[in-house]
Amino acid sequence: MQDSMSERTKRSVINHKVVPYLFIAPFIIFFVVVYLYPFFKTIIMSFQRIDGPNHITWIGISNYQKLFKDRNFAQSLMTTLRYAVWDLIILCSVPLIVAVILNSGYVKFPAFFKSVFFIPALTSTIVAGIVFRLAFGTLETSIANRVLALFGQKSQDWLMHPGTANFVLIILTLWRWMGVNVVYYISGLQSIPPELYEAAEIDGASSLQKFFYVTLPGVRPVLIYVITITVLGGFAMFTESVALFTQKYAGGIGRTIVGYMYQVGFYKSNLGMASAVGIVLLVIVFTVNFIQLILMGFFKKEN
């Protein structure tokens, strides 16, 4: 009897140790197969020349040397940096202002306006790109050129010049993703205790002072998250660029670093060079986000 009870106890202990690992096994397998293995494989491929499945040559840092000498890479990187900076400035500030207005209680039917702002995020990127390509077309009858004509300005070839093309790309991104960030900010604003605003009013704080000393500290965790995903989205932007400028990228206008990686990897069949681009992009995004988290005080211990 005692032997059978001890065996049951051992089995119970073993089950308690094994069962948790069985539950997390699907996630671990998925993470290893989909994320971890491709990551290390990409690092290895960046040091190789791949001419086919059975024609792989180790070439060291040659891909990186060629990469930093390529003018197209430099142009694509600068396009991405300009876009990421403006994306960060606009998509982190404008949605916050809109969220504060919608959460203020002075706007009627706030749920309706939240839905209106969020709908573009559900729209197909390709459809949105085609619509914006027509709206900012070269014809005088395009919507953007008609607006310029109302102010006595000449028509523009919006997608044929780096400055205006970047402007259109930013407008497209702001239209698509502003509603998502508005929802994030509203969730942060609603978590701020009303007592803090009441105390600020008793102390005679103005609306601007309440915004800087109550609202901003209250939404700080959400702000850190929004900045992080905006930086990541800015550097990883590809679909909007392809939809707006097509895959040819005349003169390199509108080509981002991910678009350059796509062209090198699939059009030129240089997977080694494309892997090197991916690693460089990873280092840039990691560095920028790490610096941003330090500046935002993410790693400081709260007392």
User: What is the band of 251 on the pLDDT scale with cuts at 50, 70, 90?
Assistant: low
Task: Output the six-digit token pair for 241.
Answer: 């660029």
Q: Tokens 């007592």 correspond to what residue?
A: 195
Evaluate whether residue 303 is within a structural domain: no
CATH of the domain at 141: 1.10.3720.10
Alpha carbon distance 264, 272 (integer Å) = 9
Alpha carbon distance 22, 28 (integer Å) = 10
Evaluate whether residue 63 is within a structural domain: no
DSSP label at residue 50: E
DSSP H or E stretch at residue 268: none
Residues 21 and 76 both lie in one domain: no
Model confidence, pTM: 0.81
Each residue's pLDDT tens digit, 98-131: 998 888 878 888 888 888 888 888 888 888 888 8
Contact 167, 102 (CB under 8 A): no
Residues 88 and 36 both lie in one domain: no
Task: Output the six-digit token pair for 178.
Answer: 């502003």
Each residue's pLDDT tens digit, 169-220: 888 888 888 889 999 999 899 888 888 888 888 888 888 888 888 888 889 8
Residues 96 and 18 both lie in one domain: no
Alpha carbon distance 92, 188 (integer Å) = 14
Task: Output the six-digit token pair for 201.
Answer: 């009013």
pLDDT of residue 3: 52
Evaluate whether residue 53 is within a structural domain: no
**Helix (H, G, I), strand (E, B), or coil: what is residue 246?**
coil
Last residue of a domain, which of 28, 45, 62?
45
Alpha carbon distance 275, 41 (integer Å) = 9
In terms of residue numbers, what domain contains 196?
70-295
Residues 19 and 79 both lie in one domain: no
The overall average pLDDT reported for the chain is 84
User: What is the band of 2 on the pLDDT scale with cuts at 50, 70, 90?
Assistant: very low
CA-to-CA dists, residue 217 to 13, 46, 192, 223, angstroms? 47, 43, 9, 9
Residues 112 and 214 both lie in one domain: yes
Evaluate whether residue 51 is within a structural domain: no
* Torsional sign, CA 152, 147, 166, 96: positive
Residues 26 and 174 both lie in one domain: no
Evaluate whether residue 59 is within a structural domain: no
Contact 136, 159 (CB under 8 A): yes
User: Average pLDDT for residues 242-268, to the nearest whole number?
Assistant: 78
Alpha carbon distance 37, 273 (integer Å) = 19
Residues 107 and 189 both lie in one domain: yes
If one counts the domains in the chain, the total is 2
Task: Output the six-digit token pair for 280.
Answer: 């460089």
- Complete DSSP assignment for 7-32: HHHHHHHHHHHHHHHHHHHHHHHHHI
Residues 222 and 109 both lie in one domain: yes
Each residue's pLDDT tens digit, 125-174: 888 888 888 888 878 788 888 888 888 888 888 888 878 888 888 888 88
User: Average pLDDT for residues 66-76, to the nearest whole number?
Assistant: 89
Residues 124 and 189 both lie in one domain: yes
Query: What is the distance in angstroms between the CA of the first residue and the CA of the last residue of the chain?
Result: 56
Residues 181 and 290 both lie in one domain: yes
Q: Tokens 């494989």 correspond to what residue?
A: 41
User: Average pLDDT for residues 63-77, to the nearest whole number?
Assistant: 90
Each residue's pLDDT tens digit, 7-54: 555 555 556 677 777 788 888 899 888 889 989 999 999 998 887 777
Alpha carbon distance 68, 58 (integer Å) = 19
